[in-house]
Amino acid sequence: MIVLDAAGLEKTFVLHLQNGTRLPVLRGAGLTLRAGRCVALTGPSGAGKSTLLRALYGNYLVSVGSIRVRHRGVMIDMADAPPERVIEIRRETLGYVSQFLRAMPRLAARDVVAAPLLDRGAAAEAAAARAGAMLDRLGIPTPLHALPPVTFSGGEQQRVNLARAFACEWPILLLDEPTASLDAANRDIVIGLMREAKARGAALLGIFHDRHVRDAVADETLSLEPLKESA
Ligand SMILES: Nc1ncnc2c1ncn2[C@@H]1O[C@H](COP(=O)(O)OP(=O)(O)OP(=O)(O)O)[C@@H](O)[C@H]1O
């Protein structure tokens, strides 16, 4: 079953502080995601892999193209959906794991992880239990669960970020280098989480620079190439 179908995407950055320099990054980009399958984005540095993920998530507006997402059983074009519908899709259907945890001052790690579950209507106790279990699984020591992650190590912060993403059962999950700052043991835990997500029917789209991770989870690859200057 197709759960995301993007076509003809164009994205040009306009650098207003650099005399309006235009930087075309995506032209005619598209892809199809299916339930239970994983697509890996590949291509050289600067080809636009992260830009494509952010465009699909709605962080970057595309100037042309469609991003149709299966939400509540219906395909909806996120590229021209009203903001409140995009927020609803991002709450229920489309998850995104960035490379770094966004700083959330004073919020305990357990609450950072539980937040998306609460947003989806989970009961407080169930959300806290699920958050704790996910932090345990990712090897975050129990005394740290009650502390804000700002002082955590880079790898710990990324594991909190991953616990937050995998605590919810997203139908579609976009992952930007989810294992970049992890050691081999934690990398294997994340591979396990991605495989479990696929097994319950989630569609994954990821940037995995680590070949071992890519081989372990990806069913197909989509290669992006940098655009030519003149075009
Ligand atoms: N917010 C932005 N403003 C201006 N230019 C941007 C912005 N984000 C990305 N770019 C430019 O778009 C191009 C693609 O960047 P992107 O991060 O998508 O590449 P990538 O393929 O993910 O690279 P890498 O593998 O190195 O992470 C780069 O030339 C980058 O400088």
Domain extent at residue 12: 2-102+170-223
The atom of ligand 1 lying closest to the CA of 209 is: 25
pLDDT(141) > 50? yes
Per-residue confidence (pLDDT) for residue 229, from 0 to 100: 62
Cα–Cα–Cα angle for 214, 219, 224, nearest 5°? 70
In a domain? residue 6: yes
The complex's ipTM? 0.95
What separation in Å is there between the alpha carbon of 47 and the centre of ligand 1?
7
Decide whether any atom of ligand 1 lies within 6 Å of the 127 Cβ: no
Domain assignment present for residue 132? The answer is no
CA of 166 to the centre of ligand 1 (A): 26
**Quick check: CB of 25 below 6 Å from ligand 1?**
yes
Considering the domain boundaries, does residue 147 fall inside one?
A: no
Burial of 111 (0-12, 13-18, 19+ CB in 10 A): middle
Distance CA 67, CA 6 (A): 4
Residue 116 lies in a domain: no
Q: What is the CATH number of the domain that holds 93?
A: 3.40.50.300
Q: Is residue 80 part of a domain?
A: yes
Residue predicted with more confidence, 62 or 127: 127
122 inside domain: no
From ligand 1's centre to the CA of 90, what distance in Å? Answer: 23
Q: Within a domain: residue 56?
A: yes
pLDDT at 230 over 80: no
Q: Give the three-state DSSP class for 15.
A: strand
Confidence band of 102 (pLDDT split at 50, 70, 90):
confident
Is 120 inside a domain boundary?
A: no
Ligand 1 probe mutation, 21, 42, 49, most atoms within 8 A of CB: 49
Residues above pLDDT 90, as percent of the chain: 84
Ligand 1 centroid to Cα of residue 56, in Å, is 15
Residues contacting 183, CB < 8 A, separation 6+ = 155
Contact assessment for residue 172 and residue 194, using Cβ atoms and an 8 Å cutoff = no
Is residue 37 over pLDDT 50?
yes
Residue nearest to atom 1 of ligand 1 (CA): 13
DSSP lists the bridge partners of residue 68 as: 5, 77
Q: Which atom of ligand 1 is nearest to the CA of 52?
A: 18
Q: What percent of the chain has pLDDT over 70?
A: 98
Q: What angle do CA 148, 94, 137 make, to 5 degrees?
A: 45
Our mutation pick for probing the ligand 1 site, out of 23, 60, 61, counting the most ligand atoms within 8 A of Cβ, is 23
Rounded Cα–Cα distance for residues 195 and 218 (Å)? 10
Give the closest residue to 62 by CA, choosing from 90, 27, 94. 27
Distance CA 165, CA 199 (A): 16
Number of domains, the chain: 1
Question: φ, ψ for residue 128 (rounded to 5)?
Answer: -65, -40
Which pLDDT belongs to residue 193?
Answer: 98
